[in-house]
Amino acid sequence: MSTLLGVLRKRVLAPSLASVGFAERGFPVVHTDATARLEAVPQAVVCGFEWAIEGASLWEIERRLALIEPEQRGFAYEGATMGYSILDAMPGGGSDRTRELLEGPGRPHIFLTYIGIGFAMARLPRPLWKKILPELTGVAYHPVMSWLAVDGYGFDRAYFDTGKWVERQAAPEPYPWAERPGYFPRAFDQGVGRALWFIHGGNPDGVAAAVGRFAEHRRADLWSGAGLAATFAGGSDQVGLARLRRAAGGYQDELGLGAVFAVKARTYSGYVPAHTHLACGGLVDLTVREAQNLADRTERADGDDGPEPPYELWRERIREELRPAAARRAS
């Protein structure tokens, strides 16, 4: 049950559904059925956040989120994780809400719940970040995929402060996430790339132009983020996906990398929508099953404890398998 304090927290902290919409944010998006489905993603996040920031119990959160359609449910779990993370970080919070959510009903959505932690990071001072990632027991992909929290942080900043992070291409100050501050800006840019897909409503030309305004050393991570968003969230048809692939040019392996990770996240959650099948074929010439197998067989290798995070080493192994196919297409 929500308390009066919980209702007040929601009124102060929760954005309205309109405020996260494309028109309200001033994004250059033409309204279509496809962009309406894309716009529903941040709205689902808000719903999950509202329920969690009110202080609803885990039992209640799980049952509310079950009412969200399967295609959008993972995004609602992002919002719930964001809300619980903020509650846990508040003075006097001292709770294990986030851990219990991620070890419990949020487990199938672990890829997206990490992103929700990143959304919370965007609203908390950096000194509180050191305790924001809970210690999880028996949860697959922890802590390897916790870099998605930094990705979520980058997405949030690009989406809500577009002038600074997209139009002026600001770079984030490094932070020692997983004791690797040098990789922090790269994971951040992967989130910015995902945000570009939403900011431009799945318009390949708009995404390509935006990426092209960034410094060259940042573009690979931006393209992988765009590929992940296009595959996981949808928003384009077969013609648009073909345009996106051509626009990526020499970064097609990065675009494909994002698509493969999106497939991995979707299959792990237990629900794969039609647009993920479409994007997987359109961006990497693979079926969903083939992309899942690619992600699974490249997941772990000896030597993953080096200077590069295991997350990036996994990404590199996927790239290595995609590059020969890209070379064959170019020849």
Do 187 and 305 belong to one domain? Answer: yes
Per-residue pLDDT for 1 more than 50? no
d(CA 64, CA 46): 13
Model confidence over 96-130: pLDDT tens digits? 999 999 999 999 999 999 999 999 999 999 999 99
Q: How big is the chain, counted in residues? A: 331
Do 139 and 231 belong to one domain? Answer: no
Do 222 and 100 belong to one domain? Answer: no
pLDDT at 83: 95
Structural domain contains residue 320:
yes
Q: What is the DSSP letter of 2?
A: -
Residue 307 banded pLDDT, cuts 50, 70, 90: confident
Do 192 and 292 belong to one domain? Answer: yes
User: For the whole model, what pTM was predicted?
Assistant: 0.94
Query: Number of structural domains, the chain?
Result: 2
Structural domain contains residue 148:
no
Number of neighbours of residue 220 by Cβ within 10 angstroms: 21
Structural domain contains residue 97:
yes
Contacts of 42 (CB under 8 A, 6+ apart): 20, 21, 75, 159, 198
For 64, counting Cβ atoms within 10 Å of its Cβ (0-12 exposed, 13-18 middle, 19+ buried), the class is middle
Do 201 and 293 belong to one domain? Answer: yes
Do 6 and 68 belong to one domain? Answer: yes
Model confidence over 204-231: pLDDT tens digits? 999 999 999 999 999 999 999 999 999 9
Structural domain contains residue 161:
no
Do 132 and 241 belong to one domain? Answer: no
Structural domain contains residue 154:
no
Residue 311 banded pLDDT, cuts 50, 70, 90: very high
Q: What token pair was written down for 221?
A: 């991570």
Model confidence over 35-60: pLDDT tens digits? 999 999 999 999 999 999 988 899 99
d(CA 101, CA 227): 28
Structural domain contains residue 152:
no
Domain containing 306 equals: 168-175+183-330
Provide mean pLDDT across the span 245-265: 97
Do 95 and 234 belong to one domain? Answer: no
Structural domain contains residue 138:
yes
pLDDT at 95: 78
